């Protein structure tokens, strides 16, 4: 298989992409982009898996601005797909999971997949998810001399790895890059003997019986204990045009894409801490920021609210939701509905940043473990689910506070309780 990603630019773009005899995935990236740092190995791994059927090209957006602008690229990372010189399928941008990328690639090349010799792997503890919760569990179970395997459908690190600056994690000196923090956790888990396998596509889960079975495309994992730590992801805006304009004005990361909007008019959707804090952050670049919130008050902390209220570059539209995104190749305005009067108003906007909460990655567990109405896994304080031998930790479970510190605490508890569960089954020996 081909396993190299071609570095292209404005001069070589036509030959590398438009004149290619095979489909092409084109990845535009930037410096100082947390999502790019996380996505880079994902894209490289995809090139190793699918290189016989698709060409993989990357372009540094900051050195090829005219090309990026001609393609209406305003977000990093952004992945475009071409066949016979024409862009096909939907673009991917922001936090791009391996699952999303693979689905797009296989859709373009006709569902081609890799046939490998299947393996059977037996372990004491199998952890699904390599974020703070999953790695913390692995540190504790590995240290307890339990054979531990961590599986992640993407690159290990989870949401935390995409956080540019972490300033509130206990014990850190000032601020730390999320990616660095997660690399430290991964190294600890590996040093204690855990095996960490990323880019694993899970195709089936069986939780009945003493042995829990997780099937990936190339291996069957049998475990005495399963810890679910698959985390959550940003909830997409339920508005007409969101998918079409994603990466063309619709964003989910101000730290990644805010600098693109010098002297622009921006809209921020949401009313929690993320929304109000990022609205203030965006005023570093934007001429004006309008917050659209469905209620008549914020859910953010008082300190965060005060920052918004005293900022003259921010205005607020209460009791309203964005219904439609308007533009021609790129956002020009958004249509907002007042929830009390039903009145529709069009607001000029060069960009839209969305912070309306998270949604758990639990679809594969529906009907297998108990979930609440929002899809989060229900556990007790010991991280136990309704199924013996199955635990859940971190943002994937039903709880009020979701921070890196609380995810690691969940992971520690799950790891210790997994050890206790195994020891009890072995009669304490």
Catalytic residues, by residue number, are 253, 256-257
Residues whose CB falls within 8 Å of the CB of residue 345, separated by 6 or more in sequence, listed in order: 335, 336, 337, 338
Q: Which of 60, 393, 50, 78 is nearest to 199 (CA)?
A: 50
- For 47, 61, 209, 327, 409, the CA distances from 387, given in Å and listed in that order, are 39, 48, 10, 49, 21
- d(CA 123, CA 211) in angstroms, rounded, equals 10
- d(CA 105, CA 73) in angstroms, rounded, equals 20
Instruction: Look at the block and give the residue holding tokens 């999953």.
Output: 134
Which segments within 9-107 are labelled E, that is strand? 24-29, 55-60, 78-83, 86-93
3-state secondary structure of 5: coil
What single DSSP character describes residue 374?
T
Handedness of CA 418, 397, 157, 284 (dihedral sign): negative
- For 112, 128, 134, 331, 356, the CA distances from 120, given in Å and listed in that order, are 24, 17, 22, 50, 41
Q: Which of 78, 428, 62, 43 is nearest to 249 (CA)?
A: 78
- Identify whether the C-beta of residue 154 lies closer than 8 Å to the C-beta of residue 133: no
- Taking residue 420's Cβ as centre, other Cβ atoms within 10 Å add up to 13
> Which H or E run contains 327?
strand 320-327
String of DSSP letters for 164-218: S-B--STT-SS-B-HHHHHHHHHHHHHHTT-EEE-S--EEEEE--SSSEEEEESS
Phi, psi angles (nearest 5°) of residue 265 = -100, 120
Task: Copy the structure tokens of residue 108.
Answer: 């373009």
């Amino acid at each position: 298989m081909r396993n190299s990603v071609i570095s292209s630019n404005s001069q070589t773009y036509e030959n590398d992409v438009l004149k290619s005899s095979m489909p092409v995935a084109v990845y535009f990236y930037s410096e100082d982009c947390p999502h790019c740092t996380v996505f880079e190995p994902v894209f490289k791994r995809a090139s190793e898996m699918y290189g016989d059927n698709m060409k993989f090209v990357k372009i540094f957006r900051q050195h090829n601005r005219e090309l990026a602008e001609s393609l209406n690229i305003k977000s990093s990372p952004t992945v475009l797909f071409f066949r016979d010189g024409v862009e096909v399928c939907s673009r991917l941008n922001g936090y791009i999971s391996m699952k999303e990328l693979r689905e797009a690639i296989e859709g373009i090349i006709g569902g081609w997949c890799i046939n490998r010799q299947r393996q059977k792997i037996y372990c004491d503890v199998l952890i699904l998810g390599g974020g703070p919760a999953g790695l913390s569990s692995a540190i504790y179970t590995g240290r307890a001399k339990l054979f531990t395997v961590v599986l992640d459908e993407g690159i290990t690190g989870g949401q935390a790895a995409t956080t540019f600056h972490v300033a509130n994690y206990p014990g850190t000196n000032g601020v730390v890059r999320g990616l660095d923090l997660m690399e430290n956790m991964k190294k600890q888990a590996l040093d204690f003997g855990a095996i960490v396998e990323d880019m694993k596509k899970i195709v089936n889960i069986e939780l009945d019986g003493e042995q829990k079975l997780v099937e990936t495309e190339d291996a069957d994992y049998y475990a005495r204990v399963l810890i679910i730590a698959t985390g959550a992801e940003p909830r997409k805006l339920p508005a007409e045009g969101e998918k079409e304009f994603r990466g063309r004005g619709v964003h989910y990361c101000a730290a990644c894409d805010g600098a693109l909007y010098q002297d622009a008019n921006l809209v921020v959707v949401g009313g929690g801490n993320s929304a109000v804090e990022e609205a203030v952050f965006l005023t570093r670049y934007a001429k004006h920021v309008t917050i659209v919130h469905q209620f008549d008050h914020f859910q953010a902390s008082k300190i965060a609210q005060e920052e918004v209220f005293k900022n003259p570059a921010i205005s607020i539209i209460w009791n309203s939701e964005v219904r439609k995104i308007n533009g021609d190749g790129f956002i020009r305005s958004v249509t907002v509905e007042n929830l009390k009067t039903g009145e529709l108003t069009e607001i000029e906007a060069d960009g839209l940043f969305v912070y309306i909460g998270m949604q758990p990655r639990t679809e594969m567990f529906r009907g297998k473990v108990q979930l609440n109405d929002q899809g989060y896994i229900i556990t007790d304080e010991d991280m136990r689910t309704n199924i013996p031998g199955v635990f859940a930790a971190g943002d994937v479970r039903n709880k009020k506070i979701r921070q890196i510190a609380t995810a690691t605490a969940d992971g520690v508890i799950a790891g210790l309780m997994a050890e206790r569960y195994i020891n009890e089954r072995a009669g304490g020996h």
